[in-house]
Amino acid sequence: MFTKKKLDSYFYKTKGFYIFFIPVKVPYKQIYSLADSAGLKKKEAFGPIFERGSLFGSGWIGVEVEKPSDNRQDVIHVAGDFETYEHKGPYKNIGKACQKIRKERPSSKEFYNMYMDDPDKVRPDDLRTLIFFR
């Protein structure tokens, strides 16, 4: 059910607003152009979106970028060992998956979502999200 993964990546990030880990006001469609406008080089032309949601309130979404040459407030470095869980199904159900993880791993305090599919191209029941936690 859970697997282990190592992560060592830089992400351009911008704010989002969440209720029960469900994105309410999040600029998913603009994240790639926002990274371009910030002058950052993306790792992939259309790579997965990485996100740190919240139970209620502010979080952020981002895309993986090359390590910037200077210290930037809009780039976060996420590194270390994580456990992962692959959620398959509508993105609106990610909150339920996070609750399940919290019950099974109550010491976990840090959660990230990696959206693997484009919802404009994949049916909701087939969407995949990799949840990183530790």
How does pLDDT run across 57-114, given as a tens digit for each residue? 999 999 999 999 999 999 999 999 999 999 999 988 888 898 899 999 999 999 999 9
pTM, whole model, 2 decimals?
0.90
Name the residue ranges covered by the structural domains of the chain: 3-133
The answer to whether residues 75 and 40 touch, using CB atoms and an 8 Å cutoff, is: yes
Q: Write down the mean pLDDT value for the chain.
A: 91
pLDDT at 5: 97
What superfamily does domain 3-133 belong to in CATH?
Regulatory factor, effector binding domain (3.20.80.10)
Query: 3-state DSSP call for residue 101?
Result: helix
**Which pLDDT belongs to residue 80?**
98
Q: 80 near 134, Cβ under 8 Å? A: yes
- For the chain, the first-to-last Cα distance in angstroms comes to 15
pLDDT tens-digit map of 12-56? 999 999 887 777 888 888 999 999 999 998 887 667 899 998 878
